[in-house]
Structure 1
Amino acid sequence: MTHSLPHDDDATAPLGLPGPVVGTAWLAEHLDDPRLVLVDASSTLNRADEAIPGALLLDLDGPFSDPSSGLPHTLPPAEQLTAAARALGIRRGSTVVAYDGKGLFAAARVWWMLRAAGFERVAVLDGGLPAWAAEDRPTGPHAPAPAEPGDVELVPREEFFVTADDVARALAAPDATVLDARSAGRFAGTEPEPRPGLRPGHMPGAVSLPHTELQTADGHLLPLPELRARFAAAVPEGDRIVTTCGSGLTACVLALGAHLAGREDVAVYDGSWSEWGRPGPRPVAAGPA
């Protein structure tokens, strides 16, 4: 007797993904699949009224952030993360695709958080809403929250995120590289920080790799050979990587790029510059990389 593997069009089997990044053609083909949960993870600055049909709003400033931390976009406790995901109808057998109104900015945060919590069927839409709209594909209002909640259980694993003390140790370690996803000007301290009260500059010993350098001008990820070259130039082979940014969003773009480039020993500094850059004892350097 022979057994055939389930196909994507078998509604009893999970909807498979081609990888952690999907294109607009793949999404269009599977847009009506009931196993798909499509979320608009745009930050409030980049969120548009128009949405890809069926997309739900995923609020990284609200239920998907820890209100007790005093910092933006930090990972919520397991109970809160589970409840927020269930409210979007995410089930154990769901496949989640996240997109962004800017191209690639905040959606990678969803990919990283869900993977951190053991949920692997999650991907980012390459180019986000701009890529979808550029192809004259349909848009409309965001979908309402589903009447039936999901049943997913999300328990984040600690190794995906690090604290300020962990970052300090990584900066001093010979086998670790801290990558800063902010712009070169913010890294150098020549551009103002968007959040008031933060010191300009960067962590001494950190390496500047703006998240935009992993993308084309229209917000698509670079081809794999170019991604590998970016990381080879920034991180010695074998180093573990800690990514940081302003508030934990674009650090996940670097984590996504590192994953695609074959670098698996990666963690995200959740507090990022919103924590490190506060007035206090953490050292800060100025000047270009």
Structure 2
Amino acid sequence: MAPVEPLIGSRWQAFDGSTVGTVGVAGPEDVEVAFAAAERGAAVWRRTPAHERMTIPLRAAESGKTITEATGEAARSGDLIRLAAFEGTQLYGETLPLDANRGTGQDKVGFTLRRPCGVVVAITPFNHPALLVLHTLAPALAAGNAVVLEPATSTPLTALELAECFVDAGLPEGVLLVLVGVGAVPGDALVTDPRARKISFTGATATGEHLARVAGVKKLSLEWGASCPFVVLPDADLELAAGAHDGRGHHGPVALAAGQDARPVRTGLRDGPLTFVDAARGVADVLAGRSPAAIANPDWNHRKATA
């Protein structure tokens, strides 16, 4: 983060509209600064022994959603970092017998070594602002890569705080950089730059297709949006069904706010004194941000989810 000079941007809290933080909005010039720093960081980090690379994420692991969900995500975040830190020390190569072809014989053996990619660009969504950042960040760092991270515009503060945890834990300068952008800036510049050896993207299908077209020859890991059918049968316990769609079992409001489709197979379940709409009204309050358990906290997501 250090090489990038902050500009001004804002994020709002759903309940009273007050500003909870300001973040830098990166421009094209910041992309060049970030890649130059990341290349230097990658050169240092790839030469760092695996046991030393493991200690920094482990230190970092100790260090807008509902309270319930945020607590669960934070607990899982530490577990994910610790798992990635351990697996980063287990990157073994393979030995290959070379007697399958003439001219080699049993007196020779081949072997492979697994090496870091170099600079990894990670573009992450807002609906799990800690875990979905760490799904890329923790394994990439543990394997010896430098990471240029572009978190979602609507939830950058979590990513910046996570980055600070890694820096405070001793991560060398240039190994992790965070650029917050708006629209295709700086995303397109990050993805098309030949210094990016791998791209990790989680988000909308249309955006993922665009990135795949413009990225060029490099490794791609793309996780795109999808439909999330939620089936409620006529004889279902409607209160139980509504509760199952509250973000714990089905991640329903989170999926809705993230732009993933949650489509009822049968509508108009109105037999008896309680309708599914009635049963789900409490869930709707949570989704709309009218409850302390609100899942889609950022006001941007609130407007999108209630449109």
- Report the TM-score range of the alignment, normalised by the length of the smaller protein: under 0.3
TM-score (ref. length: structure 2): 0.26
TM-score (ref. length: structure 1): 0.28
More helix by share: 2
State the structure with more CA Rg.
2
